[in-house]
Amino acid sequence: MRHTGAVDPRVRQATPSDIPVVAQIWYDGWRDAHLGEVSEELVDVRTRSSFDERAAARVTDTDVVEVDGAVVGLAMVGGDEVEQVFVAPASRGSGAASLLLDAAERRVRRHGHGSAWLAVVPGNARARAFYARRGWRDEGDLARALTVGDRRIDVDVRRYTKVVSPLIDVAELASRLGEVTVLDVRYRMGGPPGPEQHAAGHVPGAAYVDMDADLAAAPGARGRHPLPDTEVFLAAMRRCGVSSDRPVVVHDDWSGHAAARCWWLLRHHGHPDVRVLDGGWAAWTAAGGEVATGPVSPEPGSFAGRPGAMPVVEADGVLEVGVLVDARAAERFRGETEPIDPVAGHVPGAVNLPTSTNLRADGRFRPADQLAALYAAVGATPEADVAAYCGSGVTACHDVLAMEAVGIRAALYPGSWSEWVADPSRPVATGP
């Protein structure tokens, strides 16, 4: 499949053939990290061959990153701990480390954990700065035993933590108001005007984001909601107070559909810490959350991302996707009705998993194990080549978000059905 974004460097599951290079990168990185903390003599006791044995034992827990076909880094996860992230010195600054950390966070989610932790040697200033930029929080000192040969050495490390779920509940948001940037993306096709609803009541400090003006370009041959121009989007986010070093929480009153579009765009442009309020505005008010009224004029942010952090598939690659998920209602997928676009049906080979399936009766997302089972039933698993589309590229982000919550990295087809049927030469299927 031809994806754009996140192509090279490329992350994949480690295989037995990777063990020698994984062991070498791990050994070199481990020595580099610990030489300043324990004596070189003691570091030398941990032999190179011991890393071959350890890499072989942990190959199923390891992701590697390739640049030009060569493995240049690794990430290893055990439970909720990101145990190792190492990149060969020549490939530092290539984006490989960020891709590995993303992959590690997805593994933690696949293990059923909503938060992760890792340990960093205090003297490793480069690593500490990297994790801070990626939204990890320094929780303080942690004493850890280091086994070197037959010796046990106590080494002080810093414990870093991060909530890796793309969702946040009402209670956590209420406790963190003032620490996060809140965005209100209230929007419904044919529904009440979002700005008026925002002015009448919103989460304190939440800036209003306009779906059509800020999160989409003008309708045309690329569909009804093409991706916005990068500079337009970045300017809108800065206007709303978004900065790369401050977490963002997005909500709407449309079961997370519009919020998911904003979440995806921020992540696509490299923001490291974006979450969607589970249950949205309805959950906030039902829980008695504080409500503010009137206009919001936040301090302008400094967000200066660039697109490419999330995978995208374009029309010429859609038919090559291994598992293409159609997020529209079942009757639209089958071609029984089409209320918006000129042609009914679906992309040949697609499977249907409507966004409503992601949600419980109260409008919150299903538990992770249920979501994983739903997507696995249509072939969407962490190992599969997966992409999602909808009518115009908005609600498909909801399926992408649901899959991200269970560790499945899915590409988005931004033009979706409205772009697909704009070219009469493209094939159309109907029925189940």
Name the residue among 318, 261, 283 with its Cα closest to residue 203.
283
Known catalytic residue at 390: yes
Active-site position among 240, 262, 390, 397: 390
- The answer to whether the beta carbons of residues 420 and 350 sit under 8 Å apart is no
H helical segments located in 35-87: 40-45, 48-57
Token readout for 409 is 């990295």
CB 307 within 8 A of CB 230: yes
How many angstroms separate the CA atoms of 12 and 10, rounded?
7
Which residues, other chains included, contact 72 with Cβ-Cβ below 8 Å and sequence gap of 6+? 9, 25, 65, 66, 87, 88, 90, 91, 94, 96
CB of 4 closer than 8 Å to CB of 314: yes
- Placement of tokens 């009757």 in the chain: 331
Which residue type does 117 have? Answer: W
Locate 251 and state its tokens. Answer: 């909500």
Residue 371 neighbours by CB distance under 10 Å: 18
Measure the CA–CA gap between 415 and 188, rounded to whole angstroms.
19
In residues, how long is the chain? 432
Contacts of 282 (CB under 8 A, 6+ apart): 253, 363
Alpha-carbon separation of residue 23 from 84, 92, 152, 184, 418 (angstroms)? 12, 18, 22, 47, 48
Residues identified as active-site: 390
